[in-house]
Structure 1
Amino acid sequence: MKPIKHYTGLIAIVLALILSIFAFLTTSPIYKEQFYVYQTYQNSQNNTVYKFKDKEVLVGDVINYSSSPLRQQSLDKNGKPEHLSQQWVIKNDGQLALLKPDFHLGFWSLLPAITAILLCLITREPLIALLCGVISGALLLGKFNIIDQIIIPNLATDSAAGILVLYLWLLGGLMGIWSKTGAAQVFAEYMTAHFVKGPRSAKFVSWLLGVIFFQGGTVSTVVVGTTVKPLADKANVSHEEMAYIVDSTASPIASVIAFNAWPAYVQALIFVPGVSFLATESDRINFFFKSIPFSFYGIFAVIGTLLVSLNIMTFAGKRLKNAQKRVIKTGQLDAQNARPMSAKELAHPSIPQGYKPHVVEFIFPLFTLIIIAISTFILTGSPAVHWAFTCALLLSCFIALAKGMALHNVIDGINQGLKGVVLASVILMLAITIGAISKQVGGGLYLIELLGEGLPFWCLPVILQLLTMIISFSTGTSWGTYAIAFPLAMPLAWTIATGSNLDNPEVFMMICFATVLNGSVFGDQCSPISDTTILSAMTTGCDLMDHVKSQIVPASFAASIAAILWTSSAVFLA
């Protein structure tokens, strides 16, 4: 008879599903008004419009806030919205805003994320864990036709399709071609001969690439992880160390070197009526950059990865230290029972007989990829990542064919690459779905509502940090957390700043802004259901849960230092 621990995962799954059905049958949604402020203007037809995703959207009929059935007073009275999903209103201070009702289910709103995270830890099977989290959320919403009502709608979006094309077809195909031609292996040998003399220099090169490519998020993760894996494997660097370096120099560096898409996105979420230094879009972008010195977590996270790359493991935690010792003693890049997220086909090249790989086959497509991504970002404000990877893949195929590789071998390489990332791509799709589910059931809204306005001002930065850490860890997204937290946190920070008669309320607002920005990055970086966490493990060939467990200690150390500095800054500077 098997011991009870073998059934722990099954028991947890059954319990989560029972609790989800119980919550659906016994819990009523709690509706809350949500304001969305856009930069409106008059177009050439003299219509009031605003821009959303580079398209002009017409502002509908506008009524006074006091007459709206979607205002909080009406929602409290009626219990639910009156057949309206949104309404344009003039607020009491004269501000034009889009009013939408949103809801949460109290503590039950956290159940899908808790289910997924706990099952990841218990079973070490992220596919099953995420699927159960999705089912839990579907049951909470009463959507029992999970395929048609949850899976397909969340995957049939431009965002999901773009991710699938990029990470399954383009990334998988590129990695497969590099494996088939031996380009990745030759690149590793070239770097080892000229720049990388051992594990430390391999890790430092990886860290340096992460800092240089400061676009952040999935773009940085994929580009850097794909580039450094062959040279790190060649230098015998553990996959846990590499996944940590790639992950912790992606979003953290983007919050510090913010010449990317982040300020443009975030500024739209931080308008506070009556606050002069947040009045216009340029004011808010300027506020973002002025707040960068307070991005303590991002700064210390990047410093932490630099220390690991230099083999200074004092603050790295037991798991990373053990991973480094394991490689030195045994040469094993993964732990004994690890399940790496890249297929064996990508780890061992199958070069056709008579074909001689050259380092240019790796460097030329890689430089093409980076140049296209960076130049399109400079010219348009958004990197054309799909075009960058498409050009790199086509160029790799063309070089292989021009050098005499048979077409069927090129196709076989692409096929092997696709096979190598299928599982990770499915996990990524489920991560997107559970993030959407968590938002629908109001997990982030419930956590923010736990805040009260009667707080000592010096407590607020750390409380905002902890809440955004929990929200982003639970939902697996930093940008999604921004959309939830900033519209609630910034007005709250201003209310507390003015109520406490602070000498420097703008500095206090910068500190609170930085805590939300950085707390969300921490949670996203450490969450097992985050796309960047999954991609860091996938591109470096690491077991997902080994990556999560090994990086959470140094990340938490950086977050703790940041919390102390934010509190001190609030007390002495505000």
Structure 2
Amino acid sequence: MEPTALSLVPPILALAMVILTRRVLLSLGLGIVVGALMINDYAVLASLSQIGHIVLNIFYVDGGLNDWELYIIFFLFLLGMMAALISLSGGSKAFGAWAMERVKTRVGAQLTTVVMGIIIFIDDYFNSLAVGQISRPLTDRHRVSRAKLAYLIDSTAAPICILAPVSSWGAYIITIIGGILAAHSVVQYEALQAFMMMIPMNFYALFAILLIFAVALFSLDIGAMKQHETRAIEKGELIDPNKGDVPGEQSDLPASEKGRVRDLIWPIGALVVGTVFFMIYTGIKRSEGDVSLLSIFENTDVAAALVSGGLIGLIVAVVLNVTKQISVRLIGSGLWAGIKSMLPAVYILIFAWTIIEIIGELGTGTYLAGLVDAHLSISLLPALLFITAGIMAFSTGTSWGTFGIMLPIAGEIAVVTDVSMLLPSLAAVLAGSVFGDHCSPISDTTILSSTGAGSHHIDHVITQLPYALIVAGIAVVGYLVLGFTGSTFFGLLSALAAFGVAVFILKQTTVKTVRT
């Protein structure tokens, strides 16, 4: 169907329902049904058939298994089982006690999580889940709410990945940039060089990371986050007890009294080493011609590497449990508990993937991209592209899909109007895509961050939203100055000034809240 403003109805309806009802599956399901009805001229049977076909394609497509989605689901189950066995062996308990002796404060626990999120920059999925598993025992001991942990994880994962050229994100983006430069005969810089030059222009990613440090250091807890943190500190309730279990929880499993820190470190270490190894291995295997570090990450199979690393981590966790003479029956119970703990996340992912396909059929992204008018002032272009990309990623739940649509459009507009605005325009699209992805409850990275943290998904969305909007405001200031001056330095400087003002206001607000 021809993309129109009506294509915005299903995603907006789903997002509004999520906020109003706090019931994610119901809200996504309503958006899916309404979107399918619109596509099929409100024919009920045809709509149901299309939904069934989309769901089937998640598992089986083109005569074979759908590797990507199935591998991600399989990895979640592997991670759940591994986490359960780590808990069963007493590893989580032992690590929490060990960390408490060395990290004495809540601020230290939060900063440790942020630093680990920055160090693990290879892939955002891997970052969200691995950092969550490592950090959770530490932040739990210091009564940091799970919603806060999810924010710390999510706001380091994508921002650091999009700034790192040697990452799954960096390789993908550099490939697109290379195509844009070649298509428009831009020869003054190579794709990798252009990517590196765009890093200081990616205002959202840079200041999202800086704001996390400020939030952790100064306890800048606002809105719903304040409620979660207050409940955690005063009552020791890390999640809202009225909302039931969350993904990744195995609270009913006994913990061995023989647990050691290595019972957590070895499985997680095996997961990390195994995943990185298979990312490099699959990247080398699929590269053609000269193999470089960039070509490896451009061609790597992230999903397959995650599953391979997850299997290795799980095997190590099983062996450690066996050495502690934990019964086969109890290990089996742990494995099943790990699978069940991940079912809520899997359900949400399936619904999110389905509505993303529906939105793609409606042409929501194409319609939003068409709103960018080349006849507007070129000075406003970076800010407008940032906002448009943000709305698109928010509505479609995919930053990578937004990259694929918006980067070529931004490149075309900049080359036709003023080629000096090419890199700022591309950087604005990258930044806006991450911003929209951070705000969207149907984003897979948002879902996986809440899963890794053991937070209710909707709590993560609601608590992260104010911080994402603050950083977006800072980024808009930077892009306006960059657009009108053409100077990356002045754009970055103005964004830094806006960041300082925002942190000052947040500090004053939180101080007043505490006093009252």
TM range (shorter): 0.7 to 0.9
- Report if the CA contact (8 A) 1:341-1:542 is conserved: yes
Using the alignment, how far apart are the partners of 2:175 and 2:116 within structure 1?
Answer: 30
Letter of the aligned partner of 1:333 in structure 2?
L
Residue ranges of structure 2 left out of the alignment (5+ in a row): 41-45, 61-65, 284-296, 488-516
Amino acid at match of 2:71: G
- Alpha carbons of structure 1 residues 558 and 542: separation in structure 2 relative to 1, 3 Å: same
1:312/1:276 Cα in 2 relative to 1: closer, same or farther (>3 Å)? Answer: farther
- Whether 1:347 and 2:251 are equivalent positions in the alignment is yes
SS at match of 2:190: helix
Counterpart amino acid of residue 448 in structure 1: A
- The count of residues paired between Structure 1 and Structure 2 equals 455
**Which TM-score applies when normalising by structure 1?**
0.75
Compute the displacement of 1:173 (Å): 1.0
For the pair 1:561 / 2:470, whether they are aligned, the reply is no
Q: Residue 151 of structure 1 corresponds to which residue in structure 2? A: 55
| Residues 240, 323 of structure 1: 8 Å contact kept | yes
CA shift, 1:304, in A, is: 1.0
TM superposition shift of 1:466 = 0.9
How big is each residue's C-alpha offset from its partner over 1:277-331, in whole Å with a ceiling of 9 and x where there is no partner? 469xx82222112111111110110111112222341xx5332233323322222
Quote the sequence identity (%).
30
- Deviations for 1:392-430, whole angstroms, at most 9, x for unmatched residues? 001100111122112121111110111111111111111
Any residues of structure 2 matched to 1:399-548 within 5 Å, and which?
399-497=320-418, 505=420, 508-548=421-461
- Which of 131, 138, 154 does residue 224 from structure 1 map onto? 131
* RMSD of aligned residue pairs (Cα, Å): 2.0
Give the distance between the partners of 1:115 and 1:408, measured in 2 at CA: 46
| Contact 2:163-2:170 within 8 A present in 1 as well | no
Contact kept, 8 Å, 1:155 with 1:429, in 2: the verdict is no
Answer whether contact 2:107 2:217 (CA < 8 A) is retained. yes
Point out the more displaced range, 136-145 or 285-294: 136-145
> 1:253-402 residue pairs with structure 2 within 5 A?
253-270=160-177, 271-272=180-181, 275-277=184-186, 283-313=190-220, 316-335=221-240, 337-339=242-244, 341-342=246-247, 346-351=250-255, 356-378=258-280, 380=283, 381=297, 382=300, 383=302, 384-402=305-323
More off after superposition, 467-476 vs 375-384: 375-384
**1:480 to partner: Cα distance:** 1.1
Q: Which amino acid aligns with 1:135?
A: V
Gaps of 5+ in 1: 1-28, 31-103, 499-504
Cα distance in structure 2, aligned partners of 1:439 and 1:484: 11
Go from structure 1 to structure 2 and tell me whether the alpha carbon gap of 1:286 and 1:378 turns closer, same or farther (over 3 Å shift). farther
Larger % of strand: which? 1
List aligned pairs for 1:90-109, cutoff 5 A: 104=3, 106-109=4-7
Aligned counterparts of 1:140 and 1:191: Cα–Cα separation in 2: 54
2:24 is aligned to 126
Q: Determine helix, strand or coil for the equivalent of 1:310.
A: helix
Contact 1:181–1:351 at 8 Å: present in 2 too?
A: yes
1:26-105 aligned within 5 A: 29-30=1-2, 104=3
Tell whether the 8 Å contact from 1:155 to 1:433 is kept in structure 2 after alignment: no
Decide which of 160, 165, 170 is 2:78's aligned counterpart: 170
Matched, 1:192 2:113: no
Deviations 1:2-59 (A, max 9, x none): xxxxxxxxxxxxxxxxxxxxxxxxxxx23xxxxxxxxxxxxxxxxxxxxxxxxxxxxx
Amino acid paired to 2:70: A
Aligned partner of residue 341 in structure 1, secondary structure: coil
C-alpha displacement of 1:132? 1.8
Matched residues in 1 for 2:362 and 2:194: separation? 32
Take 2:187 and 2:231, find their aligned partners in 1: how far apart are those partners?
52
Task: Describe the SS at the equivalent of 1:249.
Answer: helix
Q: Quickly say closer, same or farther: Cα 1:296–1:343, change in 2 above 3 A.
A: closer
Cα distance in 1 for residues equivalent to 2:351 and 2:33 = 11
Do the aligned residues in 2 keep the contact of 1:465 with 1:518 (CA within 8 Å)?
A: yes
Q: 1:347 to 1:497 in 2, by over 3 A?
A: farther
Q: 1:340 to 1:463 in 2, by over 3 A?
A: farther
* 1:455 CA displacement: 0.8
Corresponding position of 1:34: none
Determine helix, strand or coil for the equivalent of 1:259: coil
1:120 to 1:274, Cα distance in 2 relative to 1, 3 A: closer
Instruction: Check conservation: 2:36, 2:51, Cα contact below 8 A.
Output: no
Aligned residue identity for 2:354:
T
The normalised TM-score by structure 2 is 0.84
Q: Deviations over 1:315-358 (max 9, x none)?
A: x53322333233222222224644452365x1354136xx6222
Which amino acid in 1 is paired with 2:392? Answer: I
> Contact 1:232–1:242 (CA<8 Å) still a contact in 2?
yes
Go from structure 1 to structure 2 and tell me whether the alpha carbon gap of 1:336 and 1:356 turns closer, same or farther (over 3 Å shift): closer
- Structure 1 partner of 2:116: 209
Structure number with the higher helix fraction is: 2
Letter in 2 for 1:150: I
Deviation (angstroms), 1:523 = 0.9
- CA distance, structure 2, for counterparts of residue 433 and residue 178 of structure 1: 33
